[in-house]
Structure 1
Amino acid sequence: MIWLRVAQGVLCAVEICGLYYILSVFFELRSNKMYCRVLLGITAVLLCYLTIFQREVGGMYSRYYMFLCIFLAICVAKIFFRVHIIKCLLDIILYFESIYFLDIFLGYIGQALLGTGEFVDYIQFQLNPERIFILTISRVVLVSILLFLKHYKVLVSRLFSKYQFIFVGFAFLEYVGLFFCEQVFIPAFRIEGKIYIYFALFPIILVLSLIIVIVYFMYIEKRNEMVLVNKQNSMIEKNYQEMILLYQKKDQIFHDMKNHLSVLSLLISDRNFDRAEEYIKKISEPILELEHKKFTGNRIVDIILNDKLEKAESNNIELVIDAKEVKEGTIQDIDWCAILSNILDNAIEACQKIKGKERRIEIVIKQNDCATLIDVTNTYNGEVKIIDNHLKSDKKDKVLHGIGIESVRTAVEKYNGVFEYTWCKDIFKVNISLFN
């Protein structure tokens, strides 16, 4: 029937479009030019045609065609997208394995409900309403998962990068389950009843594994969140304590100013100008020590910048600050601490490792009605360690350093922002955009 062919074609197109949708969500196109997009669309049409042809000729399920789809998808991703090959391969394998496993499992459920041993052969080798029904359910589940991934894109991408080895294990387990459960299409196994053991065993293992993975992720993320919050709170407490101490010292100076003015008045009335000038220099010293520059007009930002300026100067590092007005309340104080403190601390530590070369840090802070832009550039010793697109530390306390970077990422993601870093020769650059 024509409507069955049309329905199967639409469902095959949904399957392939889902693949391209995942690639577009998690990876960036190499080029936005029209001809590249046209070529990408042509590859999607060709893959749709191959899938429709395979379902017409080869049957509903084929493990070998799944391997072909994985290979072709990797080629397309490598040509048209900026991908990390391991991550991309794992994404595509999980995508196709999940679809094919769901198709087989739904076929087994249909056979169990109908109580006939020929149902799986019926949907495997013939185009019929039952096959369309099964494919429709699996594609509805697929679309639901894709919408979930789109909504939680940042979280999923971060978890995927951090716990890649767990997803590798899950992909292997899913393939083993797929390998055994596909034998439902072999009559001899159905007669012996072995296939029922596989369908009872592997879905349970997969579900339990998924639950364990989710609980593990929740535990790790909660633990990291607590560590980050404690670290941020200690930083804020430190900054507020410094601010309180600053005001206390200012109050002390103002309290003593009346006595200073009386002494100066006596010295001037006695025309002892030399001693008066010397006295003015002495009482000016503590005032100059307490003088904090106003860079942005934002209280917490200025406190952090002044603190890091003093730290840089004490380490013979030139810190150049180009900051415009920053409004209060646009970015929360705790997030300013997480971003500025960690980025500038990392820049200062990088400069401290330089020997015999210029130690210099430049920070630019700008804010408009739409976004807050932070650019930090520093010299470094030319050694950068990147693993899985993540900056790695050579410090002994790698956990703490990793928490610092994660603290920045978490704060940036809170404002749907962008956190990027680049390097060339002896210059390291960090670019942060926070959307108001």
Structure 2
Amino acid sequence: MLSVYKLIWFILFPVVFFAGRIGIKVSISMLSISVVAVIDLTINNILIFMNCPPATGYGWRDAVSIPVLALLAFCVRNHRKEIHEMIFRDDVKINLSIPIISLMAFLWVGIMQFLFTEQPDNRLLLYAGFLSVIIAAMFILVSVWSMYQRNKLTLMQERNEYQNRIIELNRRHVDFLLESEGELRSFRHDFKNHLLMIGNLAKESGDTAVADYIDGIYGKYDFIKYVNTNNRVADIFVNKLIQEFKNDETFEYTAVGRFPDNMPIDYVDMSILMSNLTDNVAEAFNKVSGRKQFDLEISHYKNHVFIDMRNSAAQSDANLVSDKKQPGHGLGIGKIRETVEKYDGSCEWIYKDGCMNVRIEMISEA
């Protein structure tokens, strides 16, 4: 009877729990059968040691092995994702070790079962069987644990490589933004001077139409003020926010203060910090229908720098300052907090009187 359950397990286990390579399926099935055989052999040894008659037909071995087998299937079912990730790796060593371990365990336990069947009353075989069961079980457990640890290490290495690639892409992106911002600042300065020169030449030549036109352009152009925080990366994102809402009549802003020269923060981290802060402001503005106020104040005292940001926000944004870790909570708050704490800083969000207030404190000296 037990052979029928083993056969069912051999066929259904790879079909139900795994997908992919047939060779790996068979190996996993052999390993599973080996575990069942170890259980069967252990029960048989205990019965012999207790001077019980050998089980025949549907006896105690079958009755006990079936629920144990069901429990094993249940455990594998609950952890099938971890097992699947551990097994189906493109690691040659892991793929080769699985069939080798399975075959050795399967043959080992199979031989011991055969010896017990031929000489069930042999005490030497009894002790050897107990020892074999223990060694086989330990061998299987250690092998599986080693594969799991190796796979875990591989996943950590891949995760680190992925994070390094993301950091490098962010660095290139910030480099491009800094280069573009420098060219734009130079163009703005030159263009402003060119307009002034053309306007003066038009006035000297008596061409009032051109002079008036230049004055109109110059006035509109001069209306666009550039915020300088003494940090080029921060300037990019603050001015990007201002330019995005400058044509909105309900938009007002103030920007006071400058970052100290000795800020130790990496420009990629500054990009992550300021981009998420300004993105949160833009997201909040899209939810309010009335006045859109943005206030930025940068101050420093001794070796600390303080960033105070205040913006109009809807009542629903008050939930962003909660401690919940559900998807969607924070809109970059997690990244902001992670970046600030990387430099031994702190940050807090307070929603009050229709505004979101952000307070960030960081060390200003390395």
| Corresponding residue number in structure 1 for 2:161 | 222
Q: Does the alignment pair 1:369 with 2:302?
A: yes
Q: Is the 8 A contact 1:232 1:338 kept in 2?
A: no
> 1:393 — aligned with what?
328
Q: Is the 8 A contact 1:361 1:377 kept in 2?
A: yes
1:275-354 aligned at under 5 Å gives the runs 278=212, 281-282=215-216, 284-285=218-219, 287-289=221-223, 291-294=225-228, 296-314=229-247, 318=251, 320-330=253-263, 331-354=265-288
**Residue deviations 1:166-215 (CA, integer Å, cap 9, x gap):** 9xx79xxxxxxxxxxxxxxxxx9998233333433334433432332232
Look up the match of 1:250: 189
CA distance in 2, matches of 1:190, 1:377: 76
Which runs of structure 2 are paired with 1:23-172 in the superposition (5 Å)? none
Kindly state the Cα deviation for residue 276 of structure 1 after the two structures are TM-superposed.
Answer: 9.7
Q: Could you say if the C-alpha distance between residues 297 and 242 of structure 1 is closer, same or farther in structure 2, counting changes exceeding 3 Å?
A: closer
Letter in 2 for 1:415: Y
**Contact 2:309-2:359 at 8 Å conserved across structures:** yes
Q: Distance in 2 between matches of 1:374 and 1:326?
A: 9
Shift of 1:289: 4.9
Residues 347 and 358, structure 2, Cα contact 8 Å, conserved in 1: yes
Distance apart, 1:348 and its partner CA: 1.0
Q: Over residues 109-137 of structure 1, what are the superposed CA-to-partner deviations in whole Å (9 max), with x where a residue is unaligned?
A: xxxxxxxxxxxxxxxxxxxxxxxxxxxxx
Structure ID, larger Rg: 2
RMSD: 4.2
Deviation at 1:228, TM superposition (A): 4.3
The answer to whether the Cα contact below 8 Å between 1:243 and 1:303 also exists between their aligned partners in 2 is no
1:317–1:348: 8 Å Cα contact kept in structure 2? Answer: no
Give, in angstroms, the shift of residue 340 of structure 1. 0.9
Q: CA separation in 1, counterparts of 2:253 and 2:326?
A: 24
Letter of the structure 2 residue corresponding to residue 208 of structure 1: M
Q: Which residue of 1 aligns with 2:41?
A: none
Gap runs ≥5 in structure 2: 1-78, 84-125
Deviation at 1:370, TM superposition (A): 1.9
Question: How far off is 1:323 after superposition?
Answer: 3.1
- Partners of 2:357 and 2:246 in 1: how far apart? 20
Q: Aligned to 1:415, which of 343, 348, 353?
A: 343
Contact 1:317–1:361 (CA under 8 A) maintained in structure 2: no
Shift of 1:216: 1.5
2:63 paired residue number: none
Cα distance in 1 between the residues matched to 2:358 and 2:224: 30
Alignment correspondent of 2:359: 431
Distance change in 2, residues 1:317/1:282 (3 Å): closer
- Of all paired residues, the percent bearing the same amino acid is 16
Return the alpha-carbon distance in structure 2 between the equivalents of residues 260 and 381 of structure 1. 50
Q: Look up the SS of the partner of 1:374 in the other structure.
A: strand
Secondary structure of 2:282's match? helix
TM-aligned CA distance change 1:432 to 1:225, over 3 Å = farther
Partners in 2 of 1:278 and 1:291 — Cα distance? Answer: 22
Question: How far apart in 2 are the matches of 1:312 and 1:391?
Answer: 30
Per-residue Cα deviation, 1:277-325 (whole angstroms, up to 9, x for no partner): 846632523640554133x333443343222112233456645344322
Q: Is the 8 A contact 1:350 1:381 kept in 2?
A: no
Identify the residue that residue 200 of structure 2 maps to in structure 1. Answer: 261
Residue from 112, 117, 140 that aligns with 1:201:
140
Over 3 Å counting, the alpha-carbon distance change for 1:322 and 1:251 in structure 2 is closer
Residues 250 and 278 from structure 1, CA distance in 2 versus in 1: closer, same or farther, beyond 3 angstroms? same
Distance 2:194 2:347 in 1: 47
Distance change (3 Å), C-alpha of 1:381 and 1:322: same
Q: What TM-score comes out, normalization by structure 2 length?
A: 0.52
Partner of 2:93: none
CA distance in 1 between partners of 2:169 and 2:271 (Å): 12
- With normalisation by structure 1, the TM-score equals 0.44
Q: Residues 415, 200 of structure 1: CA spacing in aligned structure 2 closer, same or farther, 3 A cutoff?
A: same
Residues 315-360 of structure 1: CA deviation (Å, up to 9, x unaligned) = 5664534432212351333322221122111221122023x45433
Q: Distance in 1 between matches of 2:258 and 2:276?
A: 21
Shift of 1:266: 4.5
Q: Which runs of 5+ in 1 are unaligned?
A: 1-165, 171-187, 395-400
Retained in 1: the 8 A contact 2:237–2:278? no
Amino acid in the other structure paired with 1:241: S
**CA offsets per residue over residues 368-387 of structure 1, 9 Å max, x none?**
33222223333134154799
Q: Does the Cα contact within 8 Å between 2:310 and 2:357 map onto a contact in 1?
A: yes
Contact kept, 8 Å, 1:361 with 1:376, in 2: the verdict is yes
Measure, in 2, the Cα distance between the counterparts of 1:317 and 1:223.
42
How far has the Cα of 1:219 moved from its partner?
1.8
Q: Secondary structure at the match of 2:316?
A: coil
